[in-house]
Amino acid sequence: MKKNIIIVAVIVTIILLCDQFLKIYLKSTYDSDNPGDQAIAGDWFVMTYIENQGMAFGTKFGSSIWAKLALSVFRIIAISGIIYYLILQLKKGVRREFLIAISLIMAGATGNLIDSMFYDFIFPVEEYLNCGLEYNRLDGSGNWSDCGYEGQIEIRHTGFLFGNVVDMFQFHATWPTWVPWLGGGQVFPAIWNVADASISLGVIMVFCRQRKYFPKEEAKKKKKLAFSMPWSKKSDVPVKEPEVESTLEKGDDSINGEERETNDSAL
């Protein structure tokens, strides 16, 4: 168990350090006046810079202050639940591979939560909250700001649990033109970060290896499916033998009648 705890701790620490180092570095050095992509692997995989106000891959959760707060609270509850579940699995001594998958999910969720909790304090809001940038605008927020020649513009809320999440990786690969409906479009247009990749990898591991991770549940499903098949024989299904009751307790008339005749003849 101690070895598994060390492995889990190392994985979570490495993911968080890589995720936060890269985010803080980019946020500190990014020049919004001279944006540009840095090639990682040719033109199809690049590093850029953007912030999102919602969940993984830029998915938004609404525009009101309560929507953002609800998202952050949901993250805290989810992470707490994952930590509790991970502790239970460590005590049970489950497969190490499964512990690694859960650790990846927990580390990724925590990495994105750190952004929304502390980045508005680490980086001065007045300096970094440029209302000219699309990811700082939020229609329907009710939080108005003077944006120079553009006038009053609704921007996102700031503070604890209201910070943006930093994203930086993007695939520029496109589908071949002959592919129906998808031809010419990007294979994966979302911009993501290390935390998103960690969550996705953990979920994929659980999905692909669920039969190994949950053998009892899988066996129960197979057994239930076999019994429900129309071609399954009744003899295949275990049947509880009925209890045989005493004929005297049932008071069988024919037996009682035979006993009376025997007694009469004896007399």
Residues with catalytic roles: 167, 196
Question: CA-CA distance, 232 to 70, in Å (whole number)?
Answer: 49
- What 3-state class would DSSP assign to 41? strand
Tell the burial category of 34 from Cβ atoms under 10 Å away from its Cβ (0-12, 13-18, 19+).
exposed
- Pairwise CA distance, residues 167 & 115, whole Å: 11
DSSP 8-state assignment for residue 23: H
Indicate the residue type of 111.
G
Between CA 120 and CA 126, with CA 124 as vertex, the angle to 5 degrees is 105
User: How far is residue 117's CA from residue 222's CA, in Å, rounded to a whole number?
Assistant: 45
Cβ-contact 88, 82 below 8 angstroms: no
Q: Give the DSSP per-residue string, 57-97.
A: GG----SSHHHHHHHHHHHHHHHHHHHHHHHHHHHHT--HH
* Residue 93, token pair as written in the block: 């001594």
Measure the CA–CA gap between 76 and 16, rounded to whole angstroms: 16
